[in-house]
Structure 1
């Protein structure tokens, strides 16, 4: 069984369960917990800081996707500004020193949460029941933290791989880039090899490296939108009440969307989605391009019937913050040595 810290609505967990792995997620957001339970995902509602490996004695795997807001390029950047402190505290954990007082001093309490997976991993080692496999995900700017964790975990006997993965290279219809860490005590690990071509501006679908599938466009995935490229990163939300398929805070990304539409590389959604979700261009004024809940979830490669719970705003928040399920599936397959094309495979590691 895998224990998933900061489990959200199940992005990592859906990918893992598609491979036959068993996962229990810890999540403190009530709406996300309701979504998880409705989807049949094992859930503990609470704060990961209140738990530890001793509370999950049967767990042989650890996963985690700590809150990304402090480190996101679209946020205030408090986590990025505190990066040196985070790296120093990771060293303290490796020395088995307490970091409780120091993490309480961060301007944004979520900054210190990125250290929780390392605390869990080292506590399990010290208890004589180390997690056999570890999978961590965060925004791209957190890669230096994962690299610091990698050095510490190697000192504990793990094989570790870290790096940035671009979602469209694994069949996800958006160009989200995330930093991953994969570690194992049982095998030499590597990050998964791409299965799809990388999107590059000006490239056509089907052009590129031999042996790779074409990247998936936004229109391919949801039936409307950009026909000539994947969606950009799905933002958590807008003042209008829904996400747009652009990176958080990226005016340039929105310009890309409008440019694609104005150039004719766009499928009209007027007959597909509700009026309030239409991409609008009224009276010469460009309004925000918005997605329905179902559209946003499909761009994150969630199953079409994933049962979202909470208010509309909370549903969008869950989707925007989640790990794309298909990307997670590829990463777990690489970590556990499971063929990615076998969604019902069983595993002794489960």
Structure 2
């Protein structure tokens, strides 16, 4: 087996994607609710802050993976990370010069967590990771690009970009900034397997070489057509509420998904999405054992398993004989 350490492992989305490629290990996760879900699912987990661990704690790991918290970078968050993006990029460059970064330099110490994977990758240790897989909200792409410059100086081939998750079989439109780095071979982002979603374009139209995108109706076991009325991105203005039918992918799944109204063709209210359904829209199995509190937030923060699997599959040079994986959750 291949060995990996997964940082900010959450409730198991990245973990499931790594498992799909034969990568297994331990996750580091600080949120007790996500830890409860991981343990209910039988995933090896360390309940801890990634800042209190390092590569020496996982000497067999040859893969580093994770998705740092996005709250200060996402448009739905407080925006402090976006406001300090230039300073974050500068911190990445200084880390490449082996300078120490103080998290207190940032308005919100969660912003500095995006630097943790680079600390793990650069820490003076007996070996380097063969593969690095990272994902974040699109606003963080400049940080991954800065990572790429540093990692190339360390001998890695690096690919960065933004991926639309419906093009990898996830039944929602969600865009993520990603990074793949490899010590051996050329890093490349995964090719899409499904067509891009376009409003008003049927899922069976488009490039015949690609599969249709997956709709909410395809993914969920609901007996009748429905329409989702979403507050996402509306700023609370009812006039801006988006609508999607069950023949379309879901809007981006967030921790506020339970606020979305669901109506039938006549406009009558239907039951809102259950936790299991929200998990399915994020790409989890319908029977995933969600546990702890704040389950919608766990689901909204999770990496879609199909996206993680696509990124891991794209890391084509992972040696088949590598040691067992370690994933770190946070």
C-alpha separation between the residues in 2 aligned to 1:97 and 1:285?
59
- Superposed counterparts of 1:221-240, under 5 Å: 221-224=219-222
User: 1:25: Cα distance to partner?
Assistant: 0.8
C-alpha separation between the residues in 2 aligned to 1:152 and 1:144?
13
- Which runs of structure 1 show a deviation greater than 6 angstroms over 4 or more consecutive aligned residues? 225-229, 284-289
Structure 2 partner of 1:308: 290
User: 1:288: Cα distance to partner?
Assistant: 11
Structure 2 partner of 1:327: 307
In the alignment, structure 1 residue 298 sits paired with structure 2 residue 296: no
User: 1:289: Cα distance to partner?
Assistant: 8.4
TM-score for the superposition, normalised by structure 2: 0.86
Aligned in 2, Cα 1:227/1:29: closer, same or farther, shift over 3 Å?
Answer: same
C-alpha separation between the residues in 1 aligned to 2:178 and 2:97?
24
CA contact 1:277–1:292 (8 Å) conserved in 2: no
Out of 71-80 and 284-293, give the one that drifted further. Answer: 284-293
In the alignment, structure 1 residue 61 sits paired with structure 2 residue 79: no
CA contact 1:90–1:149 (8 Å) conserved in 2: yes
Give the 3-state SS of the residue equivalent to 1:116 in structure 2.
Answer: helix
Aligned in 2, Cα 1:14/1:134: closer, same or farther, shift over 3 Å?
Answer: same
Aligned in 2, Cα 1:195/1:184: closer, same or farther, shift over 3 Å?
Answer: same
Structure 1 partner of 2:107: 107
TM-score for the superposition, normalised by structure 1: 0.81
Out of 197-206 and 218-227, give the one that drifted further. Answer: 218-227
User: 1:106: Cα distance to partner?
Assistant: 1.8
Task: Please point out which of 2, 11, 16 is paired with 1:14.
Answer: 16
Q: Which has the higher contact order (CA 8 A, sep 6+)?
A: 2
Structure 2 partner of 1:190: 188
Give the 3-state SS of the residue equivalent to 1:22 in structure 2.
Answer: strand
Residue by residue over 1:23-80, the C-alpha shift from the partner in whole angstroms, topping out at 9 and shown as x without a partner, is 3111001111111111121111100011111111111110110000100011121000
Q: How many residues align?
A: 312
Aligned in 2, Cα 1:50/1:203: closer, same or farther, shift over 3 Å?
Answer: same
C-alpha separation between the residues in 2 aligned to 1:114 and 1:288?
39
CA contact 2:29–2:35 (8 Å) conserved in 1: yes
Structure 2 partner of 1:348: 322
Give the 3-state SS of the residue equivalent to 1:154 in structure 2.
Answer: helix
Judging by fraction of residues, say which structure has more helix. 1
User: 1:279: Cα distance to partner?
Assistant: 3.7
Task: Please point out which of 216, 219, 231 is paired with 2:217.
Answer: 219
Give the 3-state SS of the residue equivalent to 2:72 in structure 1.
Answer: helix
C-alpha separation between the residues in 1 aligned to 2:260 and 2:234?
20
Aligned in 2, Cα 1:281/1:249: closer, same or farther, shift over 3 Å?
Answer: same
Give the 3-state SS of the residue equivalent to 1:71 in structure 2.
Answer: coil
C-alpha separation between the residues in 2 aligned to 1:305 and 1:327?
19
- Unmatched tracts of structure 1, length 5 or more: 233-243, 267-275, 339-345
Aligned in 2, Cα 1:58/1:278: closer, same or farther, shift over 3 Å?
Answer: closer
Residue by residue over 1:147-194, the C-alpha shift from the partner in whole angstroms, topping out at 9 and shown as x without a partner, is 000010011000100000000000100000000000011221101000
Residue by residue over 1:240-283, the C-alpha shift from the partner in whole angstroms, topping out at 9 and shown as x without a partner, is xxxx69458586897222xx45xx969xxxxxxxxx9994569x
User: 1:300: Cα distance to partner?
Assistant: 0.7
Structure 1 partner of 2:201: 203
C-alpha separation between the residues in 1 aligned to 2:9 and 2:17?
12
CA contact 1:217–1:226 (8 Å) conserved in 2: no
CA contact 1:218–1:225 (8 Å) conserved in 2: no
- Unmatched tracts of structure 2, length 5 or more: 249-257, 325-330
Give the 3-state SS of the residue equivalent to 2:158 in structure 1.
Answer: strand
Structure 2 partner of 1:240: none
Aligned alpha-carbon RMSD (Å): 3.1
In the alignment, structure 1 residue 96 sits paired with structure 2 residue 98: yes
Task: Please point out which of 24, 34, 38 is paired with 1:36.
Answer: 38
C-alpha separation between the residues in 1 aligned to 2:321 and 2:236?
41
